[in-house]
Amino acid sequence: MFRQISSPAGSALEINFEGKAVRAYAGETVAAALLRHNQMKFRNADANNSRGPYCMMGTCFECLVQIDGTPNQQACQAIVHDGMTIERQSAPLTGPIIPNPSEQGDN
Amino acid sequence: MQKRHFHLAVIGAGPAGLSAALAATKAGLEVILLDDQPDVGGQVYRQLTRNCKMKQPYLGQSYFSGRNMVDEMQHFSGVYAPRTTVWQITAERDIAIVVDGKAEMLSADYILIATGAIERPMPVTGWTMPGVMSVGGAQTLLKTSALGAENAVFVGSGPLLYLTIWQYLQAGLPVRAVLDITRPAQWRSVIAYAPLTLFQPKLLISGWKWLREIRRQCAFIPHVSSVDIIGTAHATGIRYETEHGAKGEFTSDHIFLHQGVMPNINLTMATGLHHRWNDHAHYWQPVVDQNGQSSDPHIYVAGDGGGIGGAAAAALAGTNAARAIIAKLKPETGISLPGGLLSQLCRWRAKAIRPFLDRLYLPPADMRLPQRDDTVVCRCENVRKADIDAALSNAVTGPNQLKAFCRAGMGRCQGRSCGIMVQEMIAAHHKQSLSQTGYYRLRPPVKPLTLAELASLNGPWPV
């Protein structure tokens, strides 16, 4: 079990993991926010083989999740924002490689 | 679109990159500091600015000693680009970056690569299961979110392992066990280098303090020679065996592995710089001169990315490389080329202990290499020891050919996890040297890039 040792630096906000609301703190990574709730399984490498964060510094690419509809995001690098939606993903990747242009803001 | 141009582009905002960028701007150079993290400090001083305000004494003095450097960034007059990934340096020394999904090309007269270190892989059975993390990862959680695991088992050796366990104990976290893989033979091999440790008494005392507390407060199992992580969906425990044949088992949901660090060479190799195999430290490093100049006279390398020396040595190397670049670009400033005896002595002293540490904590071959057929070697492509052995018995001769046979090294991490293991497995099979065996041929982009990101480039693609 992960334990909060001292109070987190950022203000509280809410993210959504696999359909459930989860508390997170501004400025922290998606991986840290999920591990705080002891969610350790982030993706499936194959049917019997799941993976979670390993290096926490963007090197190993084990913690890939789908964030706000975009797959293959490194949970240990992505910073949480209020209302962020996170889902587990399976490899080979699912979902669109190029995001739908209508969802892309002013790019 | 006109490319932004700088006198100096610094890649990486750890101690080496930070001190170089600060020194160069002070001398009047136009500098851009590129870093993939949201805050300066690199991995060693990660989130230091915020943690200084939060009062977390358990992180210890070595961490907070970076404060001056990080604070100085407030007066940085160059361009600071956080959350920016460098994915290519072209033959013309243009730099391809991506930030927030948007790619851009920059150019610079000089480039300083300060991309730091990564952890040496530790291929034990079950190391891919959720619940197993690197010790560096566990420490990052402590620094960035004040999160620690209860009743974890720590496995391995080396300063980062002992520091992190000590930080855990200072934070009041119960530790289930520490399985230390250092063997008596390693202690015997470093006797000749022991006097060097006296040049860095602070480090020596810190290390002694960490180990004393660990032995006092934890179940400490020395001379561990084999471990298997138990679990099906996630880690539930660990089995071990010592060199003397003693066996045991601990239950835990958290297993943290560490057996040293090595230079992060993906960018320097993909840029085509010359590298050499360091036999005693057992890693690849770029070939540089005393000021950090690489085989390309306009590209410098400083800090752990050029060879492991630790944070203090990295900061000195960064300043030194910046001085060499200033001397070339702005001779009118009258800055003398570094290289004086005193400067060299200072830099030597800052890593005097390394020959001792490199040998003492070089993991034994049975820890560097997978021991069971079903142990995963390439985590990205799920390639096991048996798959690699099969390819080797099919007369595979080198790391690049091996990719074609079994896909090891072809995943997203681009060999960062498996490269050095695969190299050593091939060398052992063919009974040849590690330098002769060579490494994966690395090519840009050095981090995965989506087509959308590539397509966002305003102007020609890099070649």
Per-domain residue ranges of chain A: 12-90
Residue B173: which domain range?
Answer: 121-259
Domain co-membership, B212 together with B320: no
The residue type at B284:
W
pLDDT digits (tens, 9 = 90+) for B262-273: 999 999 999 999
The residue type at B67:
R
pLDDT digits (tens, 9 = 90+) for A46-72: 878 899 999 999 999 999 999 999 999
For residue A73, the surrounding DSSP H or E stretch is strand A70-74
Number of A:B CB contacts under 8 A?
Answer: 141
Q: Which residue of A has its CA nearest to B169?
A: A5
pLDDT score at B344? 84
**What are the backbone dihedrals phi and psi of residue B175, each rounded to the nearest 5 degrees, phi first?**
-110, 130
pLDDT digits (tens, 9 = 90+) for B139-182: 999 999 999 999 999 999 999 999 999 999 999 999 999 999 99
Cis ω before A92 (30° cut-off from 0): yes
Interatomic CA distance for residues B128 and B132, integer angstroms: 7
- From residue B437, alpha-carbon distances to A91, B267, B275, B398, B433 in Å are 31, 20, 13, 6, 6
Q: Is the pLDDT of residue B338 over 70?
A: no
Query: In the structure encoding, which two tokens stand for residue B125, read together?
Result: 């059975």
The residue type at B387:
D
Domain co-membership, B235 together with B267: no
Q: Which of B203, B228, B259 is the last residue of a domain?
A: B259
Tell me if B382 and A58 make a contact (CB, 8 A cut-off). no
The residue type at B2:
Q
Name the architecture of domain A12-90. Roll (3.10)
Q: Is the pLDDT of residue A97 over 60?
A: no
pLDDT digits (tens, 9 = 90+) for B355-391: 999 999 999 999 999 999 999 999 999 999 999 999 9
Domain co-membership, B373 together with B407: yes
- Sheet architecture: strand order including A85-87: A20-25, A12-17, A85-87, A64-67, A70-74
The DSSP code for B199 is G
Domain co-membership, B239 together with B271: no
Domain co-membership, B253 together with B266: no
Query: In the structure encoding, which two tokens stand for residue B444, read together?
Result: 């840009």
B395 touches chain A (CB under 8 A): no
- From residue B142, alpha-carbon distances to B165, B258, B355, B444 in Å are 11, 16, 29, 33
Say if residues B67 and B53 touch (Cβ distance below 8 Å). Answer: no
Interatomic CA distance for residues B133 and B14, integer angstroms: 22
pLDDT score at B155? 98
Q: Hey, which residues 117-156 in chain B have their CB within 8 Å of chain A?
A: 118-119, 128-134, 136-138, 140-142, 144-150
- From residue B397, alpha-carbon distances to B175, B350, B403, B432, B437 in Å are 44, 40, 11, 10, 8
Query: In the structure encoding, which two tokens stand for residue B401, read together?
Result: 């050919």
pLDDT score at A91? 65
B343 part of a folded domain: no
B327 part of a folded domain: yes
pTM for the model: 0.95
Number of folded domains that form chain B = 3
pLDDT digits (tens, 9 = 90+) for B275-300: 999 999 999 999 999 999 999 999 99
Q: Is the pLDDT of residue A100 over 50?
A: no
Interatomic CA distance for residues B126 and A32, integer angstroms: 22
Tell me if A56 and B101 make a contact (CB, 8 A cut-off). no
